[in-house]
């Protein structure tokens, strides 16, 4: 029975729910701007339309995520996860895939499991993460 619950957790997908920011009275742009490289920060200063969520996600995916150090081991785990999802264009990723990818940036990868991520996501009040059933 425990194995079934673990399999179900691993199959969950997560993404950044942009609607959550609006519903919560928070700004996706404020949080996402911290992920921008210096080139994109300068460009955004002259192109206000690029501050729209879809544009920010595209900028991070196509440019900023390719800059060395975009995801650094010193960052908090949920910030790493936020950056990982942005680097994928906010494509839903399974918790199993997120665990494997983030394992490259943590001191003790064995302590990072889909169940641990799920507990963190269930209590998240900052990044707008949402869980959904995985794709079959």
- pLDDT tens profile 83-99: 999 999 999 999 999 99
Alpha carbon of 17 to those of 5, 21, 23, 28, 130: distances in Å?
24, 7, 10, 10, 6
**Nearest 5°: phi and psi at 115?**
-65, -40
13-53 pLDDT per residue, tens: 999 999 999 999 999 999 999 999 999 988 887 877 668 89
Judge contact between 118 and 8, C-beta under 8 A. no
Secondary structure (DSSP) of 90-115:
T--EEHHHHHHHHGGGSS-GGG--HH
For 17, left (φ over 0), alpha (ψ -120 to 50), or beta? beta
> Which residue, 124, 132, 136, is CA-closest to 13?
132
CA-to-CA distance for 96 and 113, rounded, in angstroms?
8
Instruction: Provide the pLDDT for residue 136.
Output: 43
């Amino acid at each position: 029975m425990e194995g079934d619950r673990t399999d179900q957790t691993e199959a969950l997908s997560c993404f950044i729910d942009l609607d959550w920011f609006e519903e919560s009275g928070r700004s996706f742009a404020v949080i996402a701007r911290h992920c921008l490289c210096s080139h994109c920060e300068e460009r955004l200063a002259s192109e206000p339309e690029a501050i729209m969520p879809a544009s920010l996600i595209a900028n991070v995916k196509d440019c900023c995520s390719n800059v060395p150090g975009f995801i650094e081991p010193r960052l908090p785990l949920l910030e790493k996860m936020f950056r990982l999802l942005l680097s994928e264009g906010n494509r839903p990723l399974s918790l199993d895939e997120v665990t494997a990818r983030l394992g490259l940036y943590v001191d003790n990868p064995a302590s990072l499991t889909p169940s641990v991520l799920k507990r963190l996501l269930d209590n998240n009040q900052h990044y707008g993460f949402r869980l959904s059933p995985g794709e079959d």
